[in-house]
Amino acid sequence: MITIGLLHSTIRGDEKLILQAAKKRKVNIMPIDVREQVFNPGTYKINFDIALIRTVSTVKGTYAAQFFEEMKVPVVNSSSVTRLCEDKFYTSLRLFQKKVPTLKFSLVFNLEQAVAAIEELGGFPVVIKPPLGSWGRLLAKVNDMDALEAIIEHKEVLGSPQQKAFYIQEYIKKPGRDIRSFVVGGKVICAIYRDSPHWITNTARGGEASNCPVSKEISRISKDASEAVGGGILAMDIFETSEGLKINEINHTMEFKNSEHPTHVSISGAIVDYCIKTAKKI
Amino acid sequence: MKGICPICDAGVTLLGGTEESEIISCSDCKSRLVVQKISKGKAILGKAPVIEEDWGE
């Protein structure tokens, strides 16, 4: 029987749902806290068949994914998918290269280039994001030059080296919501609307989830985006724009606990099934 | 299942199905706690880790 190693650094509601789904399917699943591991390839004893990376810490998850791949254990999501999706600039570059509709973007390292980049993007407002980060944290909607100067100065003085890479994205006026689709093994299993009066619609920031029927257009762009970054278990953040749907970001350790109820889809069950299928293939 | 809050010493009752490494709240002082160990029907609770810059999905 196949055993799934559930690599985590905190058990969230999402991981509990995965544990419950595995139990329901009578699948062995072993929670492994990465913080308690010694990743020494000469001594590490592997007693599971597939590693499911579910760490809330991106850095720890990336190291774990690389380690287990080198140890010849199948890993979901793979380290290459993780690296692409953990960094917004890398994700955007890949989507651009693969011609998947996405927002206009640039990356710069100082104010002078930021001004030039914003001009190229069509002017203010724009959104500045840390390339690495999640849950809608440290996003800034920049409406004018004064705000731009202040934000860049603060980042230059107070930020870590990562914060000094300025990922700039065109601002899209959303219809009070965005769409999140869930893609498992290349199949779009469900989607939600995230409604919020705030321009940041993350559920972590109070956005409310409701079912979003998966249209052909949602299915197409979600599948294309999944394929572009290498597939696996992914959540697509999609904006409805005047030019059609566009991918905003891709999440490789997706949170879904608020999405099973409105969609009536067992996302956790789909994750477990995908792990079993992947482990059996190898 | 019960544990002791390391911040305020209150007894904390854990819901059924609580897992090790799960984040919970103390019902008394509202501190965020982590379930460090579950053994023989008792839970050892610690102060929850602070959210870090790389946390997310």
Domains, chain A? 3-79+276-281 (3.40.50.20), 104-170 (3.30.1490.20), 173-264 (3.30.470.20)
Strand partners, A166: A108
Range A12-30 average pLDDT: 96
pLDDT of residue A225: 98
Ordered by start, the domain boundaries in chain B are 2-47
pLDDT of residue B36: 96
Distance from the A133 Cα atom to the nearest Cα atom in chain B, whole angstroms:
6
Q: Across chain A, what does the average pLDDT equal?
A: 96
CA dihedral A56→A57→A60→A65, nearest 10 degrees, is 50
pLDDT digits (tens, 9 = 90+) for A51-76: 999 999 999 999 999 999 999 999 99
> Chain B partners of A19 at a C-beta cutoff of 8 Å?
19
Q: Poorest-confidence range of A90-99, A142-151, A203-212?
A: A203-212
pLDDT digits (tens, 9 = 90+) for A108-124: 999 999 999 999 999 99
A138/A135 Cα distance (integer angstroms): 9
CATH of domain B2-47: 2.20.28
> Chain A partners of B57 at a C-beta cutoff of 8 Å?
56, 134-135, 235, 251-255
State both tokens at A122. Answer: 């069509």
Whether B50 and chain A come into contact, CB under 8 Å, resolves to no
Closest Cα to residue A99, out of A220, A190, A219?
Answer: A220
Tell if the CB–CB gap between A11 and B55 is shorter than 8 Å.
no
CA atoms within 13 A on the CB side of A32: 25
pLDDT at residue B5 greater than cutoff 90: yes
Whether A133 and chain B come into contact, CB under 8 Å, resolves to yes
Q: How confident is the model at residue A202 (pLDDT cuts 50, 70, 90)?
A: confident
pLDDT at residue A98 greater than cutoff 80: yes
pLDDT of residue A133: 87
